Structure 1
Amino acid sequence: MIEFWKMSGSGNDFILIDNRQGRVPEDEMGSFTRKVCRRRESVGADGTIFVSESQNYDFRWHYLNADGGEAEMCGNGARCVARFAFMKGIAGQKMTFQTLAGPVSAEVAGRMVKVLMPSPSGLETDIDIQHKPGWKSVDFVNTGVPHVVVQVDNLEAHPVVEQGRAVRIDPSFSPAGTNADFINIVSSDLIEMRTYERGVEDETLACGTGAIASAVVASARDMVHSPVRVKTRGGEELKIYFKKKGMLFEEVWLEGSTSLIYEGRLNEEAL
């Protein structure tokens, strides 16, 4: 049986496994994740995080979305794995770990975790994509993974799943596709956000990289300033800190709470 922790980061839920002994081989992580992330049939989660040894950092992670595809980055997953590593004695309260998007630093303070994310890249406002009903503006930025950010008229009533799926598979972003965030800018320090996540292929209760993307494009339009609170679909707030130099954004921190839901052991029937 494989031991695991179930954790949540502001509504994104994850299965975390200490894989330093190689219990799950890398070439089996995709199929393993697809099976254990099935809701109602197995544990159920937005993704799986495997913690492995690293020669240069405190540890290395593999983050896989529920569809079994490995992603470069997941902001809320990064916060959860930092607390997991601290609680398991793998790293101290301050740590740096290896990801496909580059090294990520984190600080753990109880349930609150703050992570220094890769600097956003590829920022482009008013991208060339067919506008859909209710859209006010549409921008793009990569915050470790690609995000299209759409400012809409009525966020609560907006058809996020329908339009999010269309944006996710738009030929402009092929072959990898993109995440889609729909936002309402409430004030200069508060954004409301709903996200359609690539790899989960549905709306999720939160998205850390999406919260960063939303804050960055809103700042690029001079509508918010650091720090920015981003209210997620699940009702929790993430806080984004950054330094802005023209259209460049540096020292981007993502802060929010984490929850340890339970610890368990996977029976072979879950797979």
Structure 2
Amino acid sequence: MTLQPRNDSAQFIATSRDILWENDIDVTIGTNFDEYQEILDRDRPAQAMGAPFNPELQNLNPGNAFWLTGRDIDGRLMHTQAARLIDLRQETLADYMQHKFREFPPAIPDLDLDRSRFRASPGAKHITGRVIYHGEVWMSPNEGRFRGNGLSSVLARYGLLTAMQRWNPDYLFGFMARTVAFKGFAERMGYMHNEPGALRWYRHGSDMPLEGFLSYLTNEEARYLLEMPVSDLVTLPATQKAA
């Protein structure tokens, strides 16, 4: 079943494309994750591809996953994100993650997977059906030009709309580091639920854990979000160009 593009969805798409075009951002959506790996190796070498989207570890195809990139006027990579369909059937996300959470590690080296753990948050106990894992979200620091002005929110919601149109899932979820969550990034992404303590990752030789929040949206909440005027998200004048 596909989300039919109603007038509000069409308006969202048109306004988003106008904002991105007027700010010299070119968006590409693809489903070949070998190609995505090449893009990251070349243009985002400081942050490796996450395991949930590694084509050597996952069965990814046009029917269950896509990636999205944004490039600036000079062709430099300034944004990435990716989404993947998971059919939980009768299982909850809490049950699924109890034995699968190690397949969703943060992109940091030397993880001690034996000491790391998943704790089922309240939302995870209710999330079931066809769900979207949303990750790989990255914005270029590039002198702050693409941060703090709403462009990240526009790009994130463009990705959410793409996932809704392709799969019409019951839920969309992702994991977010506590330091990032405390900066309000979940809200800028559009997630209406952000539950602490879902993941605790340890590195070998360290007793300082990295905490991961569970961020998620229901189908109804995603539709509500995507009906909101996207132009209200942007503080940078859409007609302002790079010098």
TM-score by length of 1: 0.28
Higher helix share: 2
